[in-house]
Chains A and B, each alone.
Chain A
Amino acid sequence: MVCPQENTITEFVAGLLGPEESGRVEAHAAGCGACRRLLSALAKSTSSASATDAADADAASPRLLLRGALVGRYVVLETLGVGGTGVVYAAYDPELSRKVALKLLRSAAFARSHELRGRLMREAQALARLSHPNVVAVYDVGTFGASVFIAMELIDGVTLGAWLAQRQHPWRAVVEVFKQVGRGLAAAHAEGLIHRDFKPANVLVGRDGRVCVVDFGLVRSSAARTEPEVEVAAELAGPGHTITQAGAFLGTPAFMAPEQFERSVVDASADQFSFCVALFAALYQRRPFSINTREVLRAEAQRGKLPALPGDPPVPAFVRRVLERGLRLAPEERFPSMDALLDALSRDPRQTWRRGAFVGLGAVALGLSVVAATRLAGEPAPLCQGSAARFAAVWSEPARQAIHERFAASGLAHAEDDWHTVARTLDAYERAWSAMHTEACEATRVRGEQSDELLSLRMLCLDRRLTEVRTLTALLGTADADGVTKAVDAAFQLPSITACANLEALRLPVRAPEGTQQAAEARAIEAVLAQAKFLASLGRHQEGLVEATRAVTRARALGHPSTEAEALETLGSVQLQAVDPAAAQATLRAAYAAAQAGRHDRTAARAAIDLVFVVGSQLFQLEAGREWAFHAEAALARWGADPELEGALHANLGSLRYNDGDFAGARAEYAAALAAREQGLGAEHRQTAQSLELLAMAASAEGDAAAARDYLARATALSLRLFGAKHPAHGALLVRVGNQSMLEDRAAEAEASFAEALAIVEAARGPDHPQVALILEHHSSALRRLGRLHEAVDAAKRAHRIFAATAGAGPLAADALSALGNAESELGNFAAALAAHEQARALYEEVFGADHEQIGNALENLGNVFLRSGDFAAALDHHERALALKERAHGAEFIDNAFALAGIGEAHVMRGAPATAIPPLERAQALLERHQVLPSLLAKVRFLLARALADTDQRQDEALRLATSAAQGFRALATPAGDADAARVAAWLADHGG
């Protein structure tokens, strides 16, 4: 679409075009913003000069900002005054931690022209160079939307106009104040700056007596003054304004020098004239000229005489002579400079008063009241308003669609469920974020109960959360199949919003780097860290490591300890997830040190918490792990209540205790983790589900089957809500449920659980995924227990095939071989069974070394085959070696010892040494009774013990009682094998008179 030529536009505006051509122009301009604005501008410029420009007036009229609004880096505190050129606010400068006065110059002209804005800014910057006690210090100049703002010294006091109006001051006091004013003007003139709008309203009298000239928005550099400069001023006022209307910009007519009316070149002597008008009015309570029009001024000043004042107040003649000269019509007849004027004003021939004798300056001023602060209602602060939109821009409709499509394209059975949970989680996050944003805004702005500094900190915190959301949504939009599967986990990795309300913590001295560039770099690094974190939680560990390493390098270059600590902590956490515990330990230690150096307690706590897991549970250095827990607790205590971190610490401590065999302790920690997470993260959180699983695991290990089942049921229900029924996570939980059933010898239930898990995970991850093999292995045991031996062999063989093809899965392949050996053994294929177990043992030894407890399991399995095949000496040898390894690993009271003890007892019974069998069997029985698990093993041990007792002719009654209880135990299993065993015991009982 080509824009119409200027000829056509001109003819359109002049009404010279025919209807058809006009229509074309209109149709074009309706869709072309530039041409529409061109027509609008031309339409306005053809209007007569008297027509008021409503739009310009509108745009220029000050809309006041509310408390808490941000202008540049400044936080608005309150409105100090509204003037013709703009609004003055008190504001807080968070960077330098001081209050400033913020003048916001608004004009429609600024909106129209970048150039005008730029020029004004250059002028204000020139002012910033000026440093004089009687000139307000200009700190900073910048643009705010279409406006220009000037940050300057905030002076606690009143305007000179208000000071003069308070009461009648003695002439000496007035002259003294004006001399200070004059010195300020002289200093500005010396820098080539002319005020051009000097009047009492532009002077502040501080409580401390200091007098300051302000309002330099209008000052023009005299060095650069040319004709166009004047036109710029006219332009600022808006086209079509008469010069009097432009007075707000050019000066205030009442105080203006006559040459300013002419719009001819003005110099410092114009300020001198204005100064004298003000001094005259201050001394005589009337202005030197009757009416403030240029004609009257010209006529009266022409006469060169000041009005004679009946009943003159006692103003000395020398002061009056100064005024007469300063108020001359011709600039060249006035004093050659402000300094000369001040000199004359100080030459009091009588010298009857002492300098500084006057009082009354500070005592009366109560706070600033430049102009009554009228705070306009309306216009909700932009800070609050933008919040919802800002989140919506990140978690937008297109972003949702992209992610949803990506998930759908993965073709995974659980993709749709995942999408719903991710969407729900992000929606909830959005609600929490927006609510917090509003709350933070209102706390400062509406209720005024929160400092502006705190507001900034909270906003920064919320901003960081938004960066994380942005990173996550971007990654989800490009997720692969594995990423889709892990998406829910990743979504729950978003840090909690509540931390942004942790006021104590926000106040901690973690300072952003000095300097804007450094601060921007720190923010950029944070974004990279979020990227690394989410890459890792989506399973893309390598990419995550690369990003995190990059962030560490950049953070080191930045030299900001807390940023460096955060970068290191993230890298360590990614290494932890990628299961590289040695690297993770080194990185996290460095992170902890850097966090301590940067006084970043939260990062120190996180690093220490991660280290509890890495050192205690991945590197199995329990003592060192406990030490880190100690450091973590200290850092957390300094940081303050943080349910997220507390939950993590308890969970990691639980794992440490679990690995230590302290299941009761582990359970208590896991329960504490659950409580912290339910409180801090809510009941429907991924980590809450994880805590429930861990609790079930500990309860189960402790032998509290009922509690374990209860936790598992809760975890399953929650997991179904979070992941749906088709997600591998649900499959993993079913496996846990199945394992618990196995522990309780409920093989049929276990088999059902495993079969269901198998179906889910095969559908979600394909038939050759290692998770499938894991389930197959469990399935094999259940099938074997149910007597479905051929199926058990097939399942175990398949599991072994998958693991054997998976790099680094040696121990898992060995597990599968063990399952295979067990099934073959029950089928009576002892050679095959021994071969499988032997292969498993070799694999374990290769991975763990010859003394590891895992070797014990393999030895036990071998011993059991020997028992069945009748080689009791070999059986005894293997079980005894197994027991030694396990006792060394976990002590004498470890529940697993029961297997080896039962094997030893059985071997002794079978080889005809019943007396030797009794002690190990009694130990096994005690262990099993205490732990209330493995009823089938308990029944078997009791029967063996009964036989040993009977064979040694000892405690016959007890033997019968044990056999009876064994028979009951076997029957209670309700399995074919159990029934067969029960029948054997019954037969034995019948033989032994039971």
Chain B
Amino acid sequence: MRPATRLLSLLDGQRDHDAEAVERLLVAALADADRRWPGVAVDAEAYAAWVAARLPAGPEPVEAALAGLRLAELALTCACAGGSTAAIAAFDAEFIARDRRTTDDQKQLLRQKLFLAQGDTPARIARYGGRGELGRWVRTVATRIVIDGARPEREQPTDDDLLDALSVDPGHSPELAQLKQDARKIVQAALNGAIAALPARDRMLLLQYHLDGVGVVELGRLYDVAPSTISRSLARIRGGLLAQVRRSLMSHHKLWGDELERLLEFAQSQLSVGVIDRT
């Protein structure tokens, strides 16, 4: 049976398609895979079923949907999932062994997750959807393994973590240290309330920048905006936070006058840190 026939039969013929175009795409993908990973045999029928299961739903014809997928990489993962030693070796050489960012132990863990079924959970390799690059997908899985492995006991950053991350002593003075002790609780409460109330994107930016140490260039790339936009956003978020902290200090803590100003100055010192260095 031609791969296209198999694939289309699995789709119940419900969807618009050009069988020939589908066949061309699949055959080309298999050829492409054979060139990239010589010696890896991919069973064409299994491959057709593999792709059918990962075809994004939608109104567009089958061949158009297929065009959006990384068909060659799906061929490799299909072979890996089928238990092909050659495929796994090729996969390992290209996507795992060369990664300098993971340690041996982490690599071993990654291999287990990707290629071994655990109980009822199928091997993770089957989860690759084919829309993103396979390399990046592996990277995501690996990073998640690393993060899970190093996952601290507390999932959420505590108030202290956040304040610590936000604060760098701008030159030590005993007065500030004292104020910091006094003010810490109050400012902390106000600041946390304000951070919790931020929209998701703003909160993400703030935490990623201050807590995870992601630079504005990288944040810009992640959110597909110019780094300067990130900088401006961060400035705006911090400004808003400060205003919120001021309101909170005045209304909930009944602070005003000198004391309020001192606390605000302190809160500001907590927020303004590092911005300049990291842009």
Q: A residues touching B (Cβ–Cβ < 8 Å)?
A: 5-7, 9-11, 13-16, 23, 26-27, 29-34, 36-47, 51, 53-56, 58-59, 112-116, 228, 231-232, 234-235, 239, 377-380, 385, 388
Contacts of A46 in B (CB 8 A): 218, 221-222
Indicate if the CB atoms of A377 and B103 lie closer than 8 Å.
no
**Residues B103 and A33 in contact, CB atoms below 8 Å apart:** no
Report whether B213 and A54 are in contact in the complex, using a CB–CB cutoff of 8 Å.
yes
B43-51, B81-89, B123-131, B234-242: which lies at the interface: B123-131
Chain A residues near B207 (CB-CB < 8 A): 30, 36
Residues of chain A within 8 A of B105, CB atoms compared:
115
Spot the interface stretch: B1-9, B33-41, B137-145, B252-260: B137-145
Among A7, A13, A27, point to the contact of B200 (Cβ < 8 A).
A27
When distances are taken between beta carbons in the complex, the residues of chain A under 8 Å from B155 are 32-34
In the complex, B219 has a CB within 8 A of chain A:
yes
Identify which of B19-27, B59-67, B169-177 touches chain A. Answer: B169-177
13 A-B pairs with C-beta separation under 8 A: A5-B129, A7-B131, A29-B204, A33-B155, A42-B143, A46-B222, A55-B215, A112-B146, A114-B149, A231-B103, A234-B100, A377-B172, A380-B180
A380: chain B residues within 8 A (beta carbon): 169, 172, 177, 180
Which residues 210-228 of B sit at the A interface, judged by CB distance below 8 A? 212-215, 217-219, 221-222, 224
Residue of A nearest to B129 (CB): A7
Interface string of B175-217 (1 = CB under 8 A from A): 0010011000000000000000000110110011000111101
Q: Give every chain B residue within 8 A of A15 (Cβ-Cβ).
A: 224
Residue among A16, A239, A378, A379 with most chain B CB within 10 A? A378
Bound CA–CA A47/B101 (angstroms): 13
What size tier do the contact residues of chain B reach?
Answer: 35 or more
Alpha-carbon distance between A509 and B278 when the two chains are bound, in angstroms: 54
A153 to chain B, nearest CB (A): 31
Contact (Cβ within 8 A) B140 A378: no
- Name A12's closest neighbour in chain B (CB-CB): B222
Q: Is the CB of A26 within 8 A of B201?
A: yes
| B-chain residues with CB within 8 Å of residue A115 when the two chains form the complex | 103, 105-106, 149
What residues of B have a CB within 8 angstroms of the CB of A5 in the complex?
Answer: 127, 129
Q: Are B137 and A6 in contact (CB-based, < 8 A)?
A: yes
State A9–B131 Cα separation when bound (angstroms): 11
B57 CB-CB contact with A under 8 Å? no
Query: Which interface residue of A6, A13, A34, A39 has the most chain B CB atoms within 10 A?
Result: A6
Q: How far is the CA of A41 from the CA of B212 in the complex (A)?
A: 8
Q: Is the CB of A379 within 8 A of B169?
A: yes
Q: Which residues of B contact A14 (CB under 8 A)?
A: 132-133, 136
Does B277 reach chain A (CB closer than 8 Å)?
Answer: yes
Taking the closest CB of chain A, its distance from the CB of B201, in whole angstroms, is 5
Q: How far is the CA of A43 from the CA of B143 in the complex (A)?
A: 11
In the bound complex, CA of A33 to CA of B151 (Å) = 9
Closest chain-B Cβ to A110's Cβ sits at a distance in Å of: 10
Quick check: is B157 within 8 A (CB to CB) of the other chain?
A: yes
- Whether A235 and B103, one on each chain, are in contact in the complex, defined by CB atoms closer than 8 angstroms, is yes
B124, B127, B132, B150: most-surrounded residue (chain A CB, <10 A): B132
- Is there an interface contact between A16 and B131, defined as CB atoms closer than 8 Å? yes
Residue B104 lies at the interface, judged by CB distance under 8 Å to chain A:
yes
| CA distance in complex: A27, B201 (Å) | 7
Nearest CB of chain B from residue A234's CB, rounded to whole Å: 6
Assembly CA distance A53 to B101 (angstroms):
14
Q: Are B215 and A40 in contact (CB under 8 A)?
A: no
- Is B181 a contact partner of A388 (Cβ separation < 8 A)? yes
Q: Would you call A7 and B149 a contact (CB within 8 A)? A: no
B164 to chain A, nearest CB (A): 11
Centre residue among A14, A41, A379 by max chain B CB count within 10 A? A41
Known contacts A13-B222, A30-B204; is A37 also within 8 Å of B212 by CB?
Answer: yes
Residues of B within 8 A of A (CB): 100-101, 103-106, 124, 127-129, 131-133, 136-137, 139-141, 143-144, 146-151, 155-157, 169, 171-172, 177, 180-181, 200-201, 203-204, 207-208, 212-215, 217-219, 221-222, 224, 274, 277-278
**Taking A42-B143, A112-B146 as contacts, is the C-beta distance between A47 and B137 under 8 angstroms?**
no
**Chain B proximity of A957: nearest CB distance (Å):** 82
Residues on the A chain within 8 Å of B224, using CB: 15
Given contact pairs A59-B213, A377-B171, A379-B172, A45 touches B143 in the complex (Cβ within 8 A)? yes
A116 vs B106: C-alpha distance when bound (angstroms): 11
How far is A33 from B156 in the complex, measured between Cα atoms in Å?
Answer: 6
- Please measure, in the bound complex, the distance between the C-alpha atom of A56 and the C-alpha atom of B278, giving whole angstroms: 12
Structural contact, A55 and B214, CB atoms closer than 8 A:
yes
Contacts of A16 in B (CB 8 A): 131-132
**Residues of B with C-beta under 8 A to A54:** 213, 215, 277-278
Choose one: A45, A47, A379; the contact of B215 (CB below 8 Å): A47
**Contact between chains at B278 and A42 (CB < 8 Å):** no
Q: For A56, what are the chain B residues with a Cβ–Cβ distance below 8 Å?
A: 213
Q: Given contacts A15-B224, A54-B215, A55-B213, are A40 and B100 in contact (CB under 8 A)?
A: no
Q: Among B104, B140, B213, B215, which residue has the most Cβ atoms of chain A within 10 A?
A: B140
B residues less than 8 Å from A34 (CB atoms): 144, 147-148, 151, 155
Contact yes or no, B222 A38, CB < 8 A: no
Docked pose: A231 CA to B131 CA in angstroms: 31
A43 touches B222 (CB 8 A): yes
Contact of A235 among B101, B219, B222, B277 (CB under 8 A): B101
Chain A residue at minimal CB-CB distance from B279 = A54
Structural contact, B217 and A51, CB atoms closer than 8 A: yes
CA distance A868 to B203 in the complex (A): 94
Nearest opposing residue in chain B for A24, CB measure: B200
CB distance from B128 to the nearest CB of A (A): 7
For B103, list chain A residues within 8 Å (CB): 113, 115-116, 228, 231-232, 235
Given contacts A14-B132, A32-B155, A115-B105, contact A9 B140 (CB under 8 A): yes
Please give, as numbers and ranges, the residues of chain B lying within 8 Å of A47 by CB-CB distance.
215, 217-218, 221
Please, which residues of chain A bring their CB within 8 A of the CB of B278?
54-55
Contact B143 A38 (CB under 8 A): yes
Least distance between A749 CB and chain B CB atoms (Å): 48
Q: Is the CB of A113 within 8 A of B150?
A: yes
Other than the given A115-B103, A380-B177, 4 more pairs (CB < 8 A) read A14-B132, A54-B215, A56-B213, A58-B274
Measured in the bound complex, the distance between the Cα atoms of B223 and A30 in whole Å is 14
CB-nearest residue of chain B relative to A226?
Answer: B104
B218 and A113 contacting across the interface, CB-CB below 8 Å: no
Known: A36-B208, A45-B143, A115-B149. A231 touches B218 (CB 8 A): no
The answer to whether A13 touches B136 (Cβ under 8 A) is: yes
A11, A33, A59, A113: which has the most chain B beta carbons within 10 Å? Answer: A33
Most chain B beta carbons < 10 A, residue from A40, A45, A58, A228? A40
CB atoms of B132 and A7 under 8 A apart: yes
When C-beta atoms are compared, the residue in chain B nearest to A14 turns out to be B132
List chain B residues, Cβ under 8 A from A42: 136, 139-140, 143, 222
9 shortest A-B CB distances, which residue pairs? A55-B213, A40-B212, A378-B169, A10-B132, A378-B172, A30-B200, A377-B172, A7-B129, A228-B104
Query: Considering only CB atoms, which chain B residue lies closest to A446 in the complex?
Result: B174
**Is the pair A385, B171 in contact by a Cβ cutoff of 8 Å?**
no
* Residues of chain B contacted by A114 (CB below 8 angstroms): 149-150
Closest residue of chain A to B213 (Cβ to Cβ) is: A55
Shortest distance from the beta carbon of A151 to any chain B beta carbon, whole Å: 25
Contact between A55 and B212, CB atoms less than 8 A apart: yes
On chain A, the residues within 8 Å of B137 by CB distance are: 6-7, 10
- Shortest distance in angstroms between B175's beta carbon and chain A's nearest beta carbon? 11
CA distance A116 to B155 in the complex (A): 22
Which residue of A has the minimal Cβ distance to B185? A392
List, in ascending order, chain B residues with CB within 8 A of A58's CB.
213, 274
Complex-state Cα separation, A51 to B218, whole angstroms: 9
Residues on the A chain within 8 Å of B150, using CB:
112-114
Contact status A45-B139, CB under 8 Å: yes
Please name all residues of chain A whose beta carbon is closer than 8 Å to the beta carbon of B201 when the two chains form the complex: 26, 30
| Most-contacted residue by chain A among B127, B128, B218 (CB, 10 A) | B218
Assuming A29-B204, A115-B149, A116-B103, is B141 touching A6 (CB within 8 A)?
yes
Please give me the residue from chain A that is nearest to B182 by CB atom.
A388
